[in-house]
Amino acid sequence: MSTLRLADSAAAADLGGYLARLLRYDRRAVVRIRAEGSVLGTFGHPPFGEAASGVITLRASELAEPATVDATVSAGQLLDAIADDASVVPPASVTGPGWAGLLPPRTGWARVAELGVLDLAHEVAAGVAEFRARTEPGMARADLDRIAAGIWTRPMAGRLPLRAAHAAQSFGFLGPPDAAARVEVLRAGAWLRLEARYGSVSVRREGAPGLLFTR
């Protein structure tokens, strides 16, 4: 693949940080990278079981020059490919999991709600605490999944499920605690999206037909 040139060292560091977080949760993680112009989108799926069902994370990176790329690659190899001069030679494509072929749309989003970052953090902390209180070592996987599903599917403003806030916080998209910081909830067809300062999280509604990533 052709070399991609990120806008600057800060853009390279941000992308590297996102990939490092994903790899911390799953050393075999893959990402889908797509660019049509001056922005590179790197999509991932958090391996959090029921806490991430239908969730896709996105880190957008500004490019120094327009590029065209669409590939599913190893997250580890992509991280290793980020050079000191902020250039990236994408690694060879791999066979991706199902989520990589079912991405949220690029356009058609409408704003439906706004939430405070601190409120989201409190909701996530409460959800984690409840899960720990209701589970114990040795519980059957089916019981753990049932409890997790009951917690993380709870709707917030705009019917956004709590699992989206959990993923956003886990990947650092919400940024540092700030009483004034806000995030937006957007909707497009079968999808809801949490748009935060450092990235976005999209969730496909259960039972709804998926939409491919389009212009």
What average pLDDT score do residues 13-31 get? 95
User: What one-letter code names the amino acid at 170?
Assistant: S
Residue with tokens 């790197």: 42
pLDDT in tens, 103-134: 999 899 999 999 999 999 999 999 999 999 99
Partners of 6 in beta bridges: 63
Eight-state DSSP code of residue 96: P
Q: Rounded to whole angstroms, how far apart are CA atoms 57 and 197? A: 13
| Position 28 pLDDT exceeds 70 | yes
Nearest Cα neighbor of 204 from 168, 163, 150, 146 is: 163
Q: What CATH number does the domain located at 4-101 have? A: 3.10.150
Residue with the larger pLDDT of the pair 208 and 204: 204
| Position 201 pLDDT exceeds 90 | yes
Average pLDDT score, the chain: 90
The pLDDT value recorded for residue 2 is: 85
pTM listed for this prediction: 0.89
Residue ranges of the chain assigned to CATH 3.10.150: 4-101
Nearest Cα neighbor of 115 from 170, 184, 192, 188 is: 184
pLDDT in tens, 50-66: 667 789 999 999 999 99
Q: In the chain, what's the furthest Cα-to-Cα distance?
A: 53
Residue with the larger pLDDT of the pair 69 and 177: 69
Residue with the larger pLDDT of the pair 206 and 151: 151
| Position 206 pLDDT exceeds 90 | no
DSSP string covering 162-193, please? HHHHHHHHHTTTT-S--TT-EEEEEEETTEEE
The pLDDT value recorded for residue 29 is: 95
Eight-state DSSP code of residue 102: S
